[in-house]
Structure 1
Amino acid sequence: MIHFNELTLDGKEPVYMQIAGYVKRQLLLGRVSPGDRLPSRRDIAAQLSVNPNTVQKAFKLMEEEGFVHTSGNQGSVIHADAELMARIEEELTRGLVLSFISSAKEINLSFKKVIDLVSEHWEQP
């Protein structure tokens, strides 16, 4: 079962989106798998010290995006097929790249310098 005590909330995006993003990252990293149950909304709210309504909003988003299914007697379960995993990977990668590009532009790095730095460090652990 996924634990939310590793999630550090920041003020950069809404908390419910951070919760959903955390579940996506855990899925991509293989720390949770399709079929794994999520803790109850109240348990997550308690772990993160947030309002249960915020967690409910995260669950609604995750259900709409199709990677969490909820049924009354089984609770909420992670669901992901190959197509959904590819879509999540694309979304998270795009976010990282856009954030990196924005930061690089803020400090006036040239495209060539960015490519050189990425090439230099790509193979390092």
Structure 2
Amino acid sequence: MPMFEAFEFNNNSPIYLQITKFFEAMVFLGELKPGDLIPSRRELAGEMRVNLNTVQKSYAYMEEIGLITTEKNRYSVITKDTDKIEELKNNYIKEPLIIFLKTMKSINISKDSVLELIDKYYDIVDEMEGLEDDNCKESDKKI
């Protein structure tokens, strides 16, 4: 599957959770639809170059949270339960949002100021991505 080519692991969380987040993102973006077949555990382990046990742990976790269902230990599909997908999507969004809001509150930024900042930066955040990388490189040179 070509969708796995661009996937890169990071050191911030366990690999099985990163695989799970990847599948959640693909569902939320519409790349994977309810009822879509996903690769077998062995296929995915080979494509992502990870241990089969890691993929099995990820699939077990995705089953536990209701993202996928597995037909008699044969093949796995994205759940057809659209209410469950919506619930998972809301949780996916909520986690980073709560971290952001806790950060803003910890530095005494008011709700109105947070809303103003969101309004100010929401539409230009895509344009800023390249600038962030450049600014980081510039600050690295100063150290």
Same fold (TM over 0.5): yes
Task: Give identity over the alignment, percent.
Answer: 30
* TM-score normalised by structure 2 residue count: 0.73
* TM-score normalised by structure 1 residue count: 0.82
What is the distance in 1 between the residues matched to 2:6 and 2:75?
22
Q: Does the alignment pair 1:83 with 2:69?
A: no
For 1:60-98, what per-residue CA distance to the aligned partner results, in whole angstroms no more than 9, with x for missing partners?
011111221112475111114231122111111112213
Corresponding residue of 2:59: 59
Residue range with higher mean Cα deviation, 110-119 or 28-37:
110-119
Alignment of 1:96-107 (within 5 A): 96-101=96-101, 104=104
Partner SS for 2:25: helix
In our comparison, the structure showing a higher alpha carbon Rg is: 2
Indicate conservation of the 8 Å contact 1:2/1:31, yes or no.
no
Unpaired runs of at least 5, structure 2? 127-143
- For the aligned residue pairs, the C-alpha RMSD in angstroms reads 2.4
Highest RCO, 1 vs 2 (Cα 8 Å, sep ≥ 6): 1
Q: Does the alignment pair 1:46 with 2:46?
A: yes
Runs of 4+ in structure 1 over 4 Å off? 102-106
Q: For the structure 1 residues 2 and 20, does the alpha-carbon distance in structure 2 shift closer, same or farther, using more than 3 Å as the test?
A: farther
Unpaired runs of at least 5, structure 1? none
